[in-house]
Structure 1
Amino acid sequence: MMADRQSVCGIPSPRRAGQCMLALLISASADPATGMGATIEARVLSSDGPVANAVVHATRTDGESLPRPGNPEAVMDQRGREFAPHVLPVLAGTSVRFPNSDDTRHHVYSFSDAQTFELQLYHGETARPVTFGQPGVVTLGCNIHDWMLGYIYVLDTPAFARTGADGDARIKSLPPGEYEVSVWHPRLVDGASPQARDATIDESGTATLSFEIEVSPPRDRGQRGFGDRDEESLEEAFDR
């Protein structure tokens, strides 16, 4: 359970997108999950409650670097004619596999500047992996099922986590030090992320933060196209 929060920013106006809201608490208790290393815990909320699929990421601000895995890999599946997970955060340089667990073929592609690619009609494990080398947002679509929409958020830091349905994310086993913590979500109103937060954590310490963001309503599965508006073209949606 997250620590109790106290307001330090006040309550924002209803339409001020991406304003940081609540408390930043720093505690020195050991990480109960691992018993070692520092942890950043974040809760992401909107006016409607907890926000799932937000990416919480941290970078060092004290001049130190974070260790990076040698050959990072990740999976973006397709299940129930949806991308799973809906949002996949990865470190730049990660090789992502695109298995198709459905009983129909998919045709996955992206027009995004950070990565343009196409995986033509396939099912099972036949699609080649794609390496994402440039940080940025990669919007995914399926050329057969118009409603399918997913995101790969490519980061230049290995310290990140995605929020669950409870709005909570935990970045574990971090070296002690000073960090800047940011939040991204694909439905941020006007694309504006909340103000980044600073956190200083000791060895085996935990930094607990809370953000409030403003997000647009999720797309209805029956809506064609990838944008917020029915008349928006695929190219316009990917350019946003």
Structure 2
Amino acid sequence: MPPSLHQLVPTALALSSLAAQAVPVTVQLRGPGGQPLAGAAVAIEVKGRTVKTSTTKAEMGQRDRQFTPELLVVQTGTAVSFPNFDAVRHHVYSFSPIKVIDIKLYSGTPAEPIVFDKPGVATLGCNIHDRMSAHIVVVDTPTFGRTDDKGQVAFDLPVGEHVAKAWHGGQKSTNLQSVKLEVPAGGGPVALTLAE
């Protein structure tokens, strides 16, 4: 005898509740050869979650004639300031399609932060110090992180299928790569392999 509608509803609610529950997941990002990718950006687009643009602030400083951090991951809409902690002046620029920047020779902190309103990767440089370079990865989700030395980053995610978007400095392109992420009921480690 087939189950009645009353019997199916509690089962559907239980499955829905399980999918909405967040479980701890450690994502390990690997390159095409299986090597862990340290210092890579990873963003998770959670299925069914509506995301608003961010109004938060972040910082990409210059210290010891280097950008710090060299890789900054932010959500779309984040205002980034560029304080110069060096005794010398810097000229920060980017010709990236997601954000063109030209902060002329300065010391201290520019008065206005720059809002990153499009997703993608912005490559930064200094017109005065050629060896200075950095990247700002802008993502359309508040769920993001940067991998550690083992290529790992931890999240609390709902059980089910989501999309991971990732980028690392060794890539030839500045496009984020999309990879399917399946979060098991108990959470735990999940390995993702990028194509390049």
Amino acid aligned to 1:118: D
Structure with greater helix share of residues:
2
Q: What TM-score, normalized by structure 1, do the two folds share?
A: 0.63
Amino acid aligned to 1:125: T
Q: Runs of 5+ in structure 1 lacking a partner? A: 1-35, 216-240
**Residue of structure 2 equivalent to 1:151:** 135
1:107-155: CA deviation from partner (whole Å, max 9, x where unpaired): 1011111001211111222352100001111110101011111111111
Partner Cα separation in structure 1 for residue 108 and residue 130 of structure 2:
20
1:181 equivalent to 2:164? Answer yes
Match of 2:189 among 208, 215, 219: 208
Match of 1:53 among 39, 52, 56: 39
1:29-86: CA deviation from partner (whole Å, max 9, x where unpaired): xxxxxxx94333111234484322211111123xx21565752111111122111111
Q: Which moved more, 1:44-53 or 1:180-189?
A: 44-53
Q: Runs of 5+ in structure 2 lacking a partner? A: 1-20
Matched pairs, number: 175
Partner Cα separation in structure 2 for residue 192 and residue 107 of structure 1:
25
1:69–1:41 distance in 2 versus 1, CA, 3 Å? farther
Match of 2:29 among 17, 23, 44: 44
Partner Cα separation in structure 2 for residue 92 and residue 157 of structure 1:
8
- The residue correspondences of 1:87-126 to structure 2 (distance < 5 A) are 87-126=71-110
Partner Cα separation in structure 2 for residue 201 and residue 113 of structure 1:
37
Q: What TM-score, normalized by structure 2, do the two folds share?
A: 0.76
1:178-218: CA deviation from partner (whole Å, max 9, x where unpaired): 4222321132246676661232355xx52522134476xxx
Secondary structure of the corresponding residue to residue 116 of structure 1:
strand
Partner Cα separation in structure 2 for residue 135 and residue 154 of structure 1:
5
User: What is the RMSD of the two structures over their aligned residues, measured on CA atoms?
Assistant: 2.7
Q: Percent identity?
A: 35
